Structure 1
Amino acid sequence: MKLSVVLPAYNEEESISHTLLSLHSTLKKYNIPHEIVVTNDNSKDNTLGVLEELSKQIPTLVYYTNPGPNGFGYAVRYGLERFTGDCVAVFMADMSDDPEDLVKFYNKMLEGDYDCVFGSRWEKGGKVIDYPTVKKVINRVANFIVSVVMGMRYNDTTNAFKLYKRETMEGIKPFLSPHFNLTVELPLKAIVRGYNYAVVPNSWTNRKFGESKLKIKEMGSRYFFILMYCLIEKYFSQGDFKKKSQAPKKLVSR
């Protein structure tokens, strides 16, 4: 099964080399057929130039420049419309995610034939390194609210690092979120629409270069909008968007 890895990149010239080289070497080490799809989100620094040079070293790297509109969600969606694999993961360009965890996600999907594999930094076996205190408090409160409202036990919905089968990704379209609320939209739609999933502990490490693109003050209402949208779909859509299961064979008596 071919794995696609989609990375949105905005002004990541200092981080992107380490991230892509580590990602490629890890997937190559485990003989995982893959492609690495980077969306340069109209960066103002030399991210594009770095990608051009890296493409000479990494044969599985493809990259695009998103002309606009720009933003995290738009950049991820740009990549999700262009990947060619049988499954696709969203991976952060700042190396906050661990390529070894991605291998665990991939193997878990293969072993259980899951539609999705979600990471959790807060379950046993997960860990965070240098996570800002204020951001952590907001994260835990937000995820608690999502879990209670949606009636589920999964505790890290806002974690962008997740893996989906191609059929799952097609089944949760159309996408609505232009910003970081896409990280909530994708898993909640998958859950509401009946796709099965496994949860695997993963690690998160704070970026060493550059600055986070997430602006918490700007995102509250956008997260709330997506949460309410998925809640309405869950209770009022009458199953119109549910995963289509194979109909049982009809028995014919003779």
Structure 2
Amino acid sequence: MKFDGKLSVVMPAYNEGERIYNNILATEKIIAPFAPDYEIVVVNDGSRDNTRQEIERAKAHDDRIVMVSSETNHGKGSAILAGIAESAGEYIAFLDADLELNPSQLEGYYDKMTETGCDAVIGCKLHKDSQLVYPLRRKIMSVGYYMMLRLLFHLKIRDTQTGLKLFRAKAVKPVAHLVRTSGFAYDIELLVAVSRRGGRIEEMPVKVVYVRERNCRRIKFDDVWKAFRDTLAIWKRANVLHYYDDGEKV
């Protein structure tokens, strides 16, 4: 089924100079058949290599490529939020720049959104139909984080961390500014905010082809500890301060 409105694909990128040009063009080719009206919002998050120049090279081919660039690295969460702010579509998707998650899956996510009337469809590595080719260490981390989230937030979702997500803009734009987390826990904060405003979230299976072992190795204990502290801070904002509850409902 084709999108009935404009699709904005937010693609955060940090030091992706080796592959970002080809991956942007590949994304365009993949999504064009089911999203004729689209834009790709590529966020250069303070890269120290030639990522910005490669984005500009891709942009020269097509004005549907939008670049947002920062001189400083602020983290994936901040990059996603910057992309949301610049998105003009009725639908906003998140897509990792390495294309471990093929953007072709967004067509099925849109079908799910249309069939259920939900406000967000997110990829779930723990779905029984997901196809995963990635390290055991990351599988263990995903299950452990899921168990913590179920205990703290009682959301009826099993995986907040998978990089492929699709939102209705009317559900995500009004709450994006509430997100205070820039690191690994930004996903859960955004989903909690959408849920607290009455947004419905559905899960879909994903096909993951893990292409970079170094990604797992560079997730250090300090990163895990920070994600834990950030998650507890989100719990406090949600359940003690009711920080996400005010404002217009979805």
Is 1:134 aligned to residue 137 of structure 2? yes
Which residue of 1 is the match for residue 120 of structure 2? 116
| Aligned mate of 1:157, from 144, 157, 160 | 160
Deviation at 1:216, TM superposition (A): 3.8
Which residue of 2 is the match for residue 251 of structure 1? none
SS of the residue 1:29 aligns to: coil
TM-score with structure 1 setting the length = 0.85
Percent identity reads: 23
SS of the residue 2:163 aligns to: coil
Which residue of 2 is the match for residue 249 of structure 1? none
Question: Which ranges in structure 2 are unaligned for 5 or more consecutive residues?
Answer: none
Is 1:26 aligned to residue 30 of structure 2? yes
Q: Counterpart amino acid of 1:205?
A: V
SS of the residue 2:86 aligns to: coil
Which residue of 2 is the match for residue 200 of structure 1? 204
Is 1:81 aligned to residue 92 of structure 2? no
Deviation at 1:97, TM superposition (A): 1.2
Question: Which ranges in structure 1 are unaligned for 5 or more consecutive residues?
Answer: 247-254
Moved more, 102-111 or 119-128: 102-111
Count residues with an aligned counterpart.
Answer: 245
- Are 2:121 and 2:165, in contact at CA under 8 Å, matched by a contact in 1? yes
Q: Counterpart amino acid of 2:78?
A: Y
Moved more, 108-117 or 97-106: 108-117
SS of the residue 2:43 aligns to: strand
Question: How far does the alpha carbon of each residue in 1:98-137 deviate from its partner, in whole angstroms, 9 at most, with x for none?
Answer: 11111222232233332111111221221111x1222221
User: What is the Cα-based RMSD across aligned positions, in Å?
Assistant: 2.5
Instruction: Kindly report which structure 2 residues correspond to 1:1-254, keeping only aligned pairs within 5 A, or say none.
Output: 1-68=5-72, 70-129=74-133, 131-172=134-175, 173-208=177-212, 211=215, 215-237=219-241, 241=245, 244-245=248-249
- Cα distance in 2, alignment partners of residues 68 and 157 from structure 1: 26
SS of the residue 2:92 aligns to: strand
Moved more, 201-210 or 138-147: 201-210
Cα 1:232–1:69 change in 2 (3 A) is same
- Are 1:8 and 1:41, in contact at CA under 8 Å, matched by a contact in 2? yes
